Structure 1
Amino acid sequence: MIRYRGGSDSVVRPWSRLRWLVPAFWLTTTLVACDASTPTDPASPTGTEPSVDLGVELHEPESVGMSTAGLARLKGGMQELINQGRLAGMTTMLARHGKIVHFATYGARDREAGRAMPPDAIFRIYSMTKPIIGVGLMTLYEEGRFQLSDPVAMYIPEFADLEVASGVGASGPLVEEADHLMTIRELMTHTAGFTYGVFSNSQVDVIYRDVDVLDRGGTLSDMITKLSHIPLWGQPGAQWHYSVAVDVQGYLIEVLSGQPLDTFLQDRVLGPLGMVDSGFHVHADKADRFTQVYTYDLLGNLTVGETASRASEWKQPATFFSGGGGFVSTTLDYMRFCLMLLNDGELDGVRVLSQETVSLMRSDHLPAGVSFSGGREGFGLDFAVVLDPSQGDGVSAGTYYWGGAAGTWFWIDPKEDLAFVGMIQQFGNRPDVRGSSRQYVYDAITVRAN
């Protein structure tokens, strides 16, 4: 049982095979959880205590300077979205001062099958894979395998002669020389000059689509070969542009470590942190915990957002280890990852990164004149960083965050010593669970950090 510690192509729409590329711009002590073996009405305002033992101890919110009533409002607000039929299911988890004070599940894992959302549900986390890759790469940084200022071409020589698109040509982009070789720092801040092939019809993006740069049936090496023959979208270091850069980081890890990316991450991140349900595919013995993903039909009603054939691909071992969006995970697994970062690189006595490296990752690395999100936020090493909280909803300066294309989200606030993880599986113009959850959480704080 979850314990409470108290005091007294394969997809529905043509472009949706690339949905995981979409930028992830922002994010009670009573457990609302449903045992998958005893489904309840997904619209029910409450569920039953799960029979799954996750080893999670829920602490009284008041023990960490938060309000039980305030977190009940968080739970109620999220549940209302399920009751309205705007989302099929969800999980939320909050920790402060190292204690989990809220963990709730809502609605259905699979609405059509009548399967309620279990606490150990497995989700497609898409771009929330990126920070995991960043942590893995920085373990190699700590070993002196590279410097952030190193040209990527030192380790991936195929990139030594990349040109840069400079204009529109009759049969392809006009090109010019790069003014410098992209650096690893630029690779980790989406300023290396790559693109994604999905957000525009620039001639470079069209080439990405035509050659299927992120072909799930290929390998990371195949991706590098394709990229080596395509001009960069922009000059390295010139602007922030969401891109395949983290997939390239995955290949860089393989080069530096001599290991396949999946093996490396298991050794360096997943294994040490006890992230037992995370990886590049859903194992057969866990398939009954894999969540359905939804979208909206033309009338705005929920409908399944992925064909059966695409869903089955998630259950097969991958050959293309997408560092940009290929992971599945659970709420608890990802919270363990967040708590490691919040605790300056260590969790349960196991150190993954040094305090100095975590501080480096969560610092703004964008050069002068390069803006992300209008200047309110900067960009660290594989996640966004809040610089000016005055325009926000309670978050502190230094808060860092990211999310995934199916709606998963997290943020870590070092000043308030809290971490939040939310999981949904919803494509399209979904409700703003990221913004509303932040508002509920910060409204529930009764003792603020000095």
Structure 2
Amino acid sequence: MDSAGTRRSLAGLLGTWGLTRLVLLLFVFKVFVFPGPDVTTDVSVIYQGWYDTLRHGTFPLGDVTWQYPPAAALPVLSPALLGFLSYAQAFFVLAFLADLVVLLLLLYAGLRPGKTLRGTWVWVAGVPLLGPTVYARYDVMVTAVAVAGLLAGARHPRVMGVLVGFGAMLKVWPALLVLGARKRGAWGWAGGTVAALAVLFAATMPGAFAFLTFQRDRGTEVESLGSLVFHVARHFGWNGRVLLNYGSVEFLGPYVTLVSSAALFLTGVAFGWLLLWRLMATRFLPNTLADAAFVTVLMFTATSRVISPQYMVWLLGAAAVCMCFRSSRMGLPVGLVLAAALMTVLEFPVWFEHVVASDTLGITLLVLRNGLLVAACVLGAVELWRSTVSREPVPALPAQATRTRETSTSS
């Protein structure tokens, strides 16, 4: 891209980011009212309640909604850095700044040789599709750490390991990012960081790992893939209930344990496939680490018994890093994830009452969103296998083919 074209693209990116993020801030600060239930209550009620406990040096031991690794205390406590604002206002500003950090990381990566700004556009366009929920959860902060780790992975595996380990102690899922790492340094430093932080928190704050016992009695969350069984079954006499349980709206009743176990089984199958891929892969390209991370997070999200809207932020971060690489062939799965993000904001919060009621609109939205995620899983897995395991040569992308012909002609 020439310098004039680069400047125009940057102006478009920054302008779009600024405008969409201003709108998100106006929603979370309640200048405008977003349709559906108020997504900011998690911050003003739940997070602030945890804050009041954590600032006294202990974890919320009696609160079963605290289901996070000990380093999650850091983003919950972080609004104290902006003491001149209320807790909720400070949290929204910090979430906005985390979003800005991701933008800058992707811009820096996208402007390097062999990279592209497509990844930055995925983030810029994808986040507003999820609505104000992005700024009302701490997942955007975790995603900033994960994106930094992925981008560092190819050249600085130790840095990646530290960032991934820290991210895993914030919300577990960044641990999945090291699966595609070829150098042992990333694995070793990730494990070492997790161990060091675990010892630190266990020694300084009571109840650091109490969250591990708060997951046993969970049901099947109403937005998950498995929940579709009960959404349909309610129309044929299933006599279970929909309740706020362990911090999310879940199905409870007959056969819920069976469906939850089936979800765990699917997660195990996904993990087995990923291990097989890792053992069989022989061709590691510059984009393989990011592609593998995207597919891994996608698989574990789609098969989870809980698919909260903020989980989509993880996918957008991993997808954006994939699209920074010109050689990545994850364009179609990433497009499906973007479509799933749009379906997500429609099912929560816009028409969440229809999801809870299991009516035609609610079921249709879930079928579309979860169907898009499953399709992205399958296509992403096929492409990852094809590009790294298959003995057949991988066809060049159109841009690569053009450059090859130009090189041959000039020689």
Shorter-chain-normalised TM-score: which range?
under 0.3
Task: State the TM-score, normalized to the length of structure 2.
Answer: 0.26
Structure number with the higher helix fraction is 2
Task: State the TM-score, normalized to the length of structure 1.
Answer: 0.24
Give the structure, 1 or 2, with the largest relative contact order (CA under 8 Å, sep 6 or more): 1
